[in-house]
Amino acid sequence: MECKAFHHWLRTRDIRNFPDSPEARAHISICPDCQAIYLLDTRAEQEISLAFAIQEIPQGLLDKIDQRLDLEPDPGNA
């Protein structure tokens, strides 16, 4: 695999589908530039996935939000 083909693979890969391409793995083992790009891209993909992960809402938070909303003045009655 050449760098151009690796860059195309990297742009179109789905990080959730493993294993990676054997050709891509072979390429990054001999090309430090593409390896660096691969590591940065993988780290960015992982951080993005983590940012969009479903988080558990702390117990009681929804009730507090509802209570606060009940205290808000109704803009239609102003």
Residue-wise pLDDT for 4-57, tens only, equals: 999 998 988 877 666 578 999 999 999 999 999 999 998 998 888 888 877 788
pLDDT of res. 71 = 78
Task: Look at residue 78 and tell me if it is in a domain.
Answer: no
Q: Find the domain containing 18 and state its range.
A: 3-73
Whether this model's pTM surpasses 0.85: no
| Counted domains in the chain | 1
Burial degree of 20 (CB within 10 A; 0-12, 13-18, 19+): middle
pLDDT value for 46: 86
Q: Cβ distance 50 to 16 under 8 Å? A: no
Q: What is the mean pLDDT of residues 66-74?
A: 78
pLDDT attached to residue 70: 79
